[in-house]
């Protein structure tokens, strides 16, 4: 396991053999099982919570670009090969317990661009993506 820590006061809690790469900057990672995972996190106060008995057969690639993002994967979930991308601040991806995710899946918590009201310059497209049991 390669951990690249570019920030201060970062926290990584894991309870299993590790493989993959974690690149962190001011974030908290809590996991009972981290195998076949690559994290790339550019931001602060992001949380990654992976519950017990999560099985990743091929690869989970997670990218967080922003602050206060959150990824939660519930217990007994099986993942074959997935890219999860959380762009922009305050976005979340939450996968419930006992879920299965197939091969070559992309889950995005943002469409990577804003929709701004011309009159008020207010962003009107904030959303969260959930797959809960």
pTM tops 0.85: no
The residue to which tokens 């931001």 are assigned: 43
Is 92 in contact with 116 (CB distance < 8 Å)? Answer: no
User: Is 48 strand, coil or helix?
Assistant: strand
pLDDT (0 to 100) of residue 133: 47
pLDDT (0 to 100) of residue 8: 55
- Tell me: pLDDT of 97 over 60: yes
In angstroms and rounded to an integer, the radius of gyration of the C-alpha atoms of the chain is: 15
pLDDT (0 to 100) of residue 106: 93
* Euclidean distance between CA atoms 15 and 19, whole angstroms: 12
- pLDDT-derived band at 14, boundaries 50, 70, 90: low
Q: For all residues of the chain together, what is the average pLDDT?
A: 75
* Euclidean distance between CA atoms 75 and 65, whole angstroms: 25
pLDDT (0 to 100) of residue 46: 81
- pLDDT-derived band at 126, boundaries 50, 70, 90: low
């Amino acid at each position: 396991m390669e951990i690249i820590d570019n920030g201060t006061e970062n926290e990584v809690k894991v309870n299993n053999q590790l493989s993959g790469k974690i690149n962190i900057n001011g974030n908290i990672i809590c996991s009972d099982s981290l195998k076949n995972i690559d994290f790339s996190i550019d931001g602060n106060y992001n949380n990654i919570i992976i519950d017990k008995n999560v099985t990743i057969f091929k690869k989970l690639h997670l990218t967080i670009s922003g602050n206060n993002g959150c990824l939660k994967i519930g217990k007994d979930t099986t993942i074959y090969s997935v890219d999860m991308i959380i762009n922009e601040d305050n976005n979340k991806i939450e996968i419930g317990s006992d879920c299965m995710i197939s091969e070559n899946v992309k889950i995005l918590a943002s469409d990577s661009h804003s929709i701004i009201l011309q009159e008020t310059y207010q962003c009107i497209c904030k959303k969260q993506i959930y797959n809960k049991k």
